[in-house]
Chain A
Amino acid sequence: MQQYLYLIPALPLAGFLVLSLAGRYLSRNFIAGIGAGSICISALITILLSARFLQSPPETGAYTQVLWHWFSVEGLVSNISLRVDSLSLVFICIITFIGALIHIYSIAFMREDRDYARFFASMNLFVCAMLMLVMADNLVLLYLGWEGVGLCSYLLIGFWYETPGNYRAANKAFVITRIGDTAMIIGLFLLFKELGTLYIPDVLARATQHFSSGADGVTLIAILLLCGGMGKSAQLPLQTWLPDAMAGPSPVSALIHAATMVTAGVYLIARMHTIFELSPVAMQITAIVGAVTLFVAGCSAMVQTDIKRILAYSTISQIGYMFLALGVGAWSAGIFHFFTHAFFKALLFLAAGAVIETLHHEHNIFKMGGLRKTMPVIFWTFTIGAAALAALPLVTAGFFSKDQILWYAWSAGGGHPVLWALALAGAFITALYSTRLILVVFWGEMKTTPGHLPSRVMTVPLVILAFFSVAAGWIEWPHNILHVDLFSEEVQHVLPATVLKEGLPAEIVFQLIAVVVSLIGIYSGYSLYYGQSPLLQQWKQSPTVMSVRDFFFSGWRFDQLYDALIVRPFLFITRINKSDISDKLYTAIANVSMLLNRQFSVTQNGSLRWYVTGVLIGILFIITLQLLL
């Protein structure tokens, strides 16, 4: 089986090549066939592969395949080679499977677009790059995938490049993630300097011998890698690009900015778990970043009016949960939340995309409403997704994953009450805005008349995703309820098991609190946006609330902050130095010699007596020299 490993990324790549080179000459159906087909096939292969992997795991714990020798110079040896262990497997499955669904969805969604081929080409390239990222066996190759997805995200955010807003968003995304990447690559340099290798298994192996726990070096490395993760996964303080990234088409948001790319940070940290474990500080920072991010982003999500921005902020905050989990040492929980989140967030985006399409590109949720009747399928699937997001107990996948994180946020090795509190608050907020979303979009009176309804090609993927948003959770139950933990079982081949603190109240207490909190959240959302209590309405209008609302709405004014701190100074410096200061020096030299030229020309005045004087000056000079010497 493992000799077919290369097919998984190769097929999308092939698709990309065909579409980008010949796309202009192909019919739309053919393009769709290639674009979606390539991904579907690699999804099939992945499923076969994982089936094989699960029933008879390789004794090394990983499928590996060396494609070709990339470069080897002075001890730095890198191959273009793939390595799939159970961690990668989870990611591959999500990428290919959800990728396939989204591609199918896009066939209909993008049907009318001029650059049909370009869209699918970029999407395929993205899938390929993402697969390289998670299948890489050395960090250089991983960095290749890492930057590759960045490029594709840039291309797809700016897909409709005529509109200024879009390419600005694209540039913003690329640059901000690039900042993270730069930190990460410095981390790689340091790693190589310390360990002398970038081959991931070796790195993990040597790190334990080379570093003592909490050593400065390893902490530095971990933090630098974390910065990389922050950039890609839109965590504080590098989160500002993701909301703007919604300028891209909805499938893009679903695939790149919800399901897969933005979770690359999670993958990186999980992949480098040894490094992180060696440095408690880094772990704490990770946890704190996650916790703060989930709260901050959640607040912003609460007050957004653009449906996609709501989802974007919620994505940020959900990834915050993952970081929190990783940070406290609940590795499998973090990955599990990625697993479930991928399904329901992709679902939400696709559904939102369908809604937007139907309502003639209307993004503002307060101009929607009453769609419950008109588009039932969308409504139900969207509701399921939202429920999962709000972690509705027991019936949704979101519950199972998030509940774990909440419980570990305190109880796990790195856990802390404050983290738990923040997570809890986040859960409340999440529930609130999910409810708000459902109510405002689907209930109430209809404000915009819907156009033609989404075709079956679009709805079927939604249904599938909806099913998984419910079912995905069942493979990992809370221990105290039902002893099913297939997922963590599998993942813990790679990732260390979660260590628990002693002397905490029973898990069930936490679960109940969590459930109650999310229910309260749902209720408050209901009463705020559907209930008619005048008290709340006028409270919503009160100036303080409004100002807070604006503050949240602007994403805690991060954009303005960076604008003032970095962007403006940069622009200023570049503007004043447009015509290269250092050039002045050379111009000065030229001018001086021209000036001298004028001076000397004066001596050439044609007057013979002056020339005689010249001779006299000469002889006088010689005589003086004589007297001096």
Chain B
Amino acid sequence: MILIWMLCILLAGGILCWLAAQRQPLLARWIALITVSADLLIACWLFPVYQAFPDNSSWFINYQANWIPALGVSFHVALDGFSHILLLLTYFLGILAVLCSWKEVRERTGFYFFNLLWTLAGISGVFIAMDLFLFYFCWEIMLIPMFLLIILWGDVRRHYAAYKFFLFTQAGSLLMLLAILALYFIHGQQTGNYTFDYFALLQTALTPSTAMWTMLGFLIAFVIKLPAVPFHNWLPDAHGEAPTAGSLLLAGLLLKTGAYGIIRFVLPIFPQAAADIAPWMILIGVAGIIYGALLAFSQTDLKRLIAYTSVSHMGFVLVGVFSFSSIAMQGVVMQILTHGLSTGALFLMAGMLKERLHTRDITKMGGLWTSMPRLGGMAILLTMASAGLPALGNFIAEFFILLGTFSNNPVLSIIATLGLILSAVYSLRMMQKVFMGPLISTVPVVDLSARELIILTALSISIVVLGLFPQPVIDTVHHLSTIHPLLHE
């Protein structure tokens, strides 16, 4: 029930923002802030509950209500450690998103925050939905507000970006819908019980070929969202053109829904098919790592650059998931978290620079360290995080993933490891172009304001903490090693 409340708070908050802004525009952001913080508090409050919970059944909240009984659709939400961590991430980044649009968004504040909150609602719905119909529902819900965010508050080429984003993801999700239906009917014909319930569908027995096709339906949707080469093309445009908060949510959360989907649905429902396709997926992942890194290196638009780095980083996720090693699986979860934080932070940084310099072109920047030492220091930390420096969360993630993959697939793992070199190359290039060298921009730039400092500090601290004390996370998602037979042998 508490989960329903979390959703309702967000939805209601969103509408409230919209209404409030009609009279008092500034009110909206406060409402938004309060709403998300409330959810974050609830999520945090759940944490001890989870720790206290006996580990044998990992689903410590499980709420089910009838929705469309005629179709066997039920409003079934449940929470396990994995979803819980993702919820925490969602609300944490949500707060930062609200904060970072505090000043940036001037017109139609109410509607803006409405979209922001509804996106968050959709995302958290995706993370807790245990009914495939509901899952698909939320999966779609989070798109539209995001689409509006991009198309209304985006940058110059926002229309192109928004269409691309929507069409790509929609193509994937329609395939997924088809797959869900196929699963639904197969299960129904087998058991006579037509239901969309996740736990019921887990028991579906599929012939290899059907399993493969159905899985592809799911997989393509998730891989587009992740995104993996060659389905990544929507990402740079969407990230580049979206408002700062939009990029933050995209990079920090929307991409993660893809990873979540693969772990939650593809692996458990289609164990055999997943195992069969694994080598190709790892290949795609590695390709993504290298290709993304190469592209990131050549970009001159700061946000596009960061976008391509996340293509590269998400490649690690794909590799980790399909290497079927529990170390790698832990690494994937860490990667989901830390990449969300670090890349989000980088986008915030880009946004702050854009606010000051009114450009995203790094060739027009340079030497900013002198004028904004605070941001410079932060930037070092963040670039190093994305370059996978130890003592920062990303290192733990990538180390686990590569270590786990190595035992199963040494060659590809080694190639993936080369990504570490490339990541160093592009991170340093970014650092250098923006902060080092002689001061280029003529406009006088001021260093971080208190608000911005708080945002970035919060992110940096959490990255460092994840790097030095990853064990709580690892324990929380430990049960993931049971989702696939290959994982716990």
Q: A and B: direct contact (Cβ < 8 Å)?
A: yes
Residues in A lying within 8 Å of B, measured CB to CB: 20, 24, 68-74, 76, 80, 118, 140, 143-144, 146-148, 151, 154-155, 158, 161-162, 164, 167, 170-171, 174-175, 178-179, 181-182, 185-186, 188-190, 192-193, 573-575, 577-578, 580, 582-583, 585-586
Residue from the list B299, B370, B439 in contact with A578, Cβ < 8 A? B299
B367 interfacial by beta-carbon distance below 8 Å? yes
B432: Cβ under 8 A from any A Cβ: yes
A175, B429: Cα distance in complex, Å: 11
Given A161-B369, A162-B438, A585-B230, does the pair A167, B432 have CB atoms closer than 8 Å?
A: yes
In the complex, B421 has a CB within 8 A of chain A: yes
- Residues in A with CB closer than 8 Å to B407 are 193
Q: Chain B interface: which size bin?
A: 35 or more
**Residue contact A178 to B297, C-beta cutoff 8 Å:** no
Q: What's the minimum C-beta distance from A267 to chain B, rounded to whole angstroms?
A: 17
Q: Which residues of chain B have C-beta atoms less than 8 A from A185's C-beta?
A: 399, 402, 417, 420
Q: Is the CB of B326 within 8 A of A182?
A: no
Stretch from B10-18, B92-100, B388-396 contacting the other chain: B388-396
Q: Which residues of A contact B380 (CB under 8 A)?
A: 155
A76 in complex: contacting residue of B232, B395, B403, B439, CB < 8 Å:
B403
Nearest chain B residue, comparing its CB with the CB of A117: B373
19 inter-chain pairs at a CB distance below 8 angstroms, sorted by A residue, are: A69-B471, A72-B474, A73-B326, A74-B327, A74-B481, A118-B373, A147-B389, A158-B436, A162-B436, A162-B438, A178-B420, A181-B420, A182-B421, A185-B417, A186-B414, A192-B406, A574-B297, A582-B232, A586-B164
- A20 to B373: give the CA distance in the assembly, Å: 10
Q: Are the C-beta atoms of A190 and B437 separated by less than 8 Å? A: no
- Is B465 an interface residue, CB under 8 A from the partner? no
Q: Do the beta carbons of B327 and A73 come within 8 Å of each other? A: yes
Q: Are B377 and A144 in contact (CB under 8 A)?
A: no
Q: Are A74 and B326 in contact (CB under 8 A)?
A: yes
Residues from chain B with a CB closer than 8 A to the CB of A69 are: 471
Chain A-chain B contacts (Cβ-Cβ < 8 Å), number = 125
3 smallest A-B Cβ distances: which pairs? A144-B390, A574-B298, A189-B406
**In the complex, B470 has a CB within 8 A of chain A:** yes
- How far is the CB of B302 from the nearest CB of chain A, in Å? 14
- Of B417, B428, B438, which is within 8 A of A182 by CB? B417
Report yes or no: A148 in contact with B436, Cβ–Cβ below 8 A.
Answer: no
A164 and B437 form a contact (CB under 8 A) = yes
When distances are taken between beta carbons in the complex, the residues of chain B under 8 Å from A582 are 229-230, 232-233
Q: Are B402 and A189 in contact (CB under 8 A)?
A: yes
Closest chain-A Cβ to B466's Cβ sits at a distance in Å of 11
Residue from the list A24, A155, A167 in contact with B373, Cβ < 8 A: A24
Identify the closest chain A residue to B325 (Cβ): A74
Q: Which listed residue (B299, B367, B390) contacts A162, Cβ 8 A?
A: B367
Bound Cα distance from A585 to B164, whole angstroms: 13
Instruction: Name A575's closest neighbour in chain B (CB-CB).
Output: B298
B471 engages A186 (CB within 8 Å)? no
* Closest beta carbon of chain A to B260's beta carbon, Å: 20
Within the assembled complex, what's the spacing in Å between the Cα atoms of A578 and B363?
15
In the complex, which residue of chain A has the Cβ closest to the Cβ of B168?
A586
Query: A175 contacts B369, CB within 8 Å?
Result: no
B380: nearest chain-A partner, CB-CB: A155
For the complex, give the distance between the alpha carbons of A170 and B410 in Å.
32
Q: Is B468 interfacial (CB-CB < 8 Å)? A: yes
* B425 in the interface (beta carbon within 8 A): yes
B428 touches A574 (CB 8 A): no
Are B327's CB and A182's CB within 8 A?
no
B418 contacts chain A at the CB level, 8 A cutoff: yes
B236 at interface, CB cutoff 8 A: yes
Q: Which of B391, B432, B435 contacts A148 (CB 8 A)?
A: B391
Bound: A389/B31 CA distance, A: 70
With contacts A20-B377, A73-B330, A147-B390 taken as known, whether A162 is within 8 angstroms of B437 at the C-beta atoms is yes
Q: Chain A's nearest CB lies how many Å from the CB of B465? A: 12
B405 to chain A, nearest CB (A): 9
B230 pairs with A167, CB closer than 8 A: no
Chain B hits for A170, CB < 8 A: 428
B178 to chain A, nearest CB (A): 20
Give the shortest distance, in Å, between B395 (CB) and chain A (any CB).
Answer: 8
Bound complex: CA of A577 vs CA of B417, how far in Å? 22
Bound: A586/B373 CA distance, A: 42
The answer to the question of B400 belonging to the interface, with a C-beta cut-off of 8 Å to chain A, is yes
Among A574, A580, A585, max chain B CB count under 10 A is at: A580
Contacts of A188 in B (CB 8 A): 403
Is there an interface contact between B298 and A151, defined as CB atoms closer than 8 Å? no
Are A76 and B406 in touch, CB under 8 angstroms? no
Q: Which residues from A are CB-within-8-Å of B299?
A: 578
Report the minimal beta-carbon distance from A384 to chain B, rounded to whole angstroms.
38
Q: Are A151 and B384 in contact (CB under 8 A)?
A: yes
Interface residues in chain B, defined as those with a beta carbon under 8 Å from any beta carbon in chain A: 164, 229-230, 232-233, 236, 294-295, 297-299, 325-327, 330, 367, 369-370, 373, 377, 380, 384, 389-391, 395-396, 399-400, 402-403, 406-407, 410, 413-414, 417-418, 420-421, 424-425, 428-429, 432, 435-439, 468-471, 474, 481
- Do the beta carbons of B421 and A179 come within 8 Å of each other? yes
Asked whether, in the complex, the Cβ of B468 is within 8 Å of the Cβ of A80, the reply is yes
A20 contacts across to B, CB distance below 8 A:
377
Q: How far is the CB of B55 from chain A (nearest CB, A)?
A: 16
B413 in contact with A161 (CB, 8 Å): no
Do B436 and A71 have beta carbons less than 8 Å apart?
no
How far is B402's CA from A87's CA once the two chains are assembled, in angstroms? 31
A162-B367, A189-B413 provided; 14 other pairs, C-beta below 8 A? A69-B471, A71-B470, A71-B474, A73-B327, A73-B330, A74-B327, A76-B403, A146-B390, A161-B369, A162-B370, A189-B417, A574-B298, A582-B229, A586-B164
* Complex CA–CA separation, A170 to B295 (angstroms): 22
Q: Is the CB of B420 within 8 A of A580?
A: no
CB-CB nearest in chain A for B437: A164
Output the least CB separation between A557 and chain B (Å): 23
Given contacts A72-B471, A73-B330, A182-B418, contact A171 B403 (CB under 8 A): no
Task: Assess the A167–B417 pair: CB atoms within 8 A.
Answer: no
Minimum CB–CB distance from B327 to chain A (whole Å) comes to: 5
Contacts of B370 in A (CB 8 A): 162
Contacts of B164 in A (CB 8 A): 586
Q: Is the CB of A580 within 8 A of B233?
A: yes
Residue of A nearest to B230 (CB): A582
The answer to whether B295 touches A71, judged by C-beta atoms less than 8 angstroms apart, is no
Report the Cα distance A188→B395, complex, angstroms. Answer: 14
Which of B325, B399, B400, B439: most chain A Cβ within 10 A? B399
A151's partner among B389, B399, B414, B438 (CB-CB below 8 A) is B389
User: CB-CB < 8 A to B325: which residues of A?
Assistant: 74
Q: Judge whether A76 and B327 touch: CB under 8 Å.
A: yes
CA distance A80 to B377 in the complex (A): 25
Q: How far is the CA of A182 from the CA of B327 in the complex (A)?
A: 19
C-alpha spacing A141/B331, complex, angstroms: 17
A42 and B471 CA atoms in complex are apart in Å by 30
Q: Are B468 and A161 in contact (CB under 8 A)?
A: no
A582 vs B414: C-alpha distance in the bound complex, in angstroms?
25
Least Cβ–Cβ distance between B407 and chain A, in angstroms = 5
| Most A Cβ at <10 Å: residue of B370, B389, B418, B424 | B424
Q: How far is the CA of A161 from the CA of B370 in the complex (A)?
A: 9
Report B-chain residues with C-beta under 8 Å of the C-beta of A164. Answer: 437-438
Q: How many angstroms from the CA of A574 to the CA of B429 in the assembled complex?
A: 13
Across the two chains, which residue of chain B brings its CB closest to A574? B298
In the bound assembly, the distance between CA atoms of A162 and B406 in angstroms comes to: 41
Instruction: Give chain B residues whose Cβ lies under 8 Å from the Cβ of A154.
Output: 428
CA distance A20 to B438 in the complex (A): 23
Given A167-B436, A175-B428, A577-B294, also A182-B471 (CB < 8 A): no
Q: Is the CB of B432 within 8 A of A171?
A: yes
| Contact across chains for A73 and B400 when beta carbons are under 8 A apart | yes
Contacts of B436 in A (CB 8 A): 158, 161-162, 167
Given the contacts A73-B400, A162-B370, A586 and B406 also touching, CB distance less than 8 Å:
no
In the complex, which residue of chain B has the Cβ closest to the Cβ of A166?
B436
Given contacts A147-B389, A161-B437, A162-B438, contact A574 B233 (CB under 8 A): no
Q: Are B233 and A586 in contact (CB under 8 A)?
A: yes
Contacts of A24 in B (CB 8 A): 373
